[in-house]
Structure 1
Amino acid sequence: MLRNWSEVYSVGIPTIDEQHQGFFAASHRLYEQILDREANQGVAEAIAFMRDYAGSHFQTEEAFMRDHEYPALAAHQALHAAFFARLDALAEDLATFGPSPDLAERALDLTQDWLVDHIADEDVLYALHAKSHAAGAPRD
């Protein structure tokens, strides 16, 4: 099921929330292009866009974590790397087998379910860390 951005997914950091909204929109485009079995070029472009968007977004997140001395930065970076590995596998399967409903479902799982889980389980932790260390709170 396609999910739309909701304030429920907000981490309270405007730049990152805006990027998460864009991530939701990009995942919708990728899913629809694969499900509609559009030309492989269109799906390949959607995957390339997702890769670029994720790369830019992850850089923003990781810079924020560094700036706020988030102690779990390395573990969070590993999660980002795992996302790219799954995206690469999706692109490989597209190149090998072409678009299909199964590939569309995998794209949905990768982009939306992963994103929702990642925001709820991981991104919220660095946001909470930053907020707890704002306003002169002592560092860990």
Structure 2
Amino acid sequence: MYEFTEDCLIHIDEIDDEHRRLFQMLNEAIQLADESADVTPVANNLIANLKDYAATHFAHEETYMESISDPELPLQRKEHAAFTKKINTFVPDTSSADAARESLQTLLNYLAHWLFNHILSSDIMIGKLPSKTEKASDPFAFTDAFKTGIQSVDDQHQRLFDIIRETNDLIHEELLHDKYDEIMRLLTQLREYTEFHFHDEEALMERIHYPELEAQKRAHTAFVERLVEIDLSDLDNMDDNQQDYLINLVDFLLSWLSNHILGSDMKIGEYMKKNNLAK
């Protein structure tokens, strides 16, 4: 069964309720499959229900994002369209009972993976990206507010902030032509260092038996996959929107990292302090 855990809450009631319902649909399909010799009707019913419910949910989510002028809306629409295409084109394998069951499991695995990653890398940021008037004088400053009290973690967070700052500075460098290869290099560096940091942080959480390790792993995986999906080749088709796309990308990266530190990583330091664990 797939559990809709607390880390999946984005604290927008309608959207959270609809996310819960999507997880419930997956779990109902699993239960029915366990009770059925022939899972083909289960798969067909799941696909039909998902087509309707996902369309409704995506419409609600996009309408809300539009109402708050969320800069992530174009990317959300793209991700929603990819999910819809996958569901619309999925054809269960009915060549045998075993093939049908394996086909259903493949679908369920895809759906659960997509939902967790989409919620934890995209939906979690709805309404959290700062407007131009809300930005701090130096939003890339790694201040004491972000310090967990764990030196190795704080040092790595500082480096992530620095890489994002370097990327932002390069984007705003007006005299530098053909800078997109260099931006891509920095984004690759960010992904690689992020993977190193997450691995190191998860190893620490394992050593101290941190109770929220699995939630952290889900969030880490979702963010890394988001980084992997960044493709600047699309910039050639953006004309005058290239700069806006890159600025919004940096805003997302910085905001996700900031929110993750403040909402999740700070708890690691608190847990270690509460349990008198060496940092």
Q: TM-score range by the shorter chain?
A: 0.7 to 0.9
Q: Residues 8-87 of structure 1 correspond to what in structure 2 (within 5 A)? A: 8-36=145-173, 38-87=178-227
CA contact (8 A) 2:140 2:164 kept: no
Residue in structure 2 matching 1:95, options 195, 216, 233: 233
Contact 2:148 2:265 in 1 (8 A): yes
Local SS of the residue matching 1:46:
helix
- Give the fraction of aligned pairs with identical amino acids, expressed as a percent: 26
Which has the larger displacement, 32-41 or 72-81?
Answer: 32-41
User: TM-score, with normalisation over the residues of structure 2?
Assistant: 0.44
TM-score (norm 1): 0.85
Query: How much is the aligned-residue C-alpha RMSD, in angstroms?
Result: 1.9
Counterpart Cα distance in 2 of 1:80 and 1:106: 21
- Counterparts of 1:50 and 1:96, CA distance in 2: 20
Higher helix share: 1
Q: Distance in 2 between matches of 1:35 and 1:69?
A: 43
Larger Rg belongs to: 2
Within 1, Cα distance between the matches of 2:180 and 2:202? 32
Name structure 1 gaps, 5 residues minimum: 136-140
**Residue 39 of structure 1: CA displacement?**
2.2
Q: How far did residue 14 of structure 1 move? A: 0.7
CA-to-aligned-CA distance 1:78-134 (integer Å, 9 cap, x gap):
111111122123x22x12225822222232223211111111000011221122122
Please list every run of at least 4 consecutive aligned residues from structure 1 whose deviation after the TM superposition is greater than 6 angstroms. Answer: none
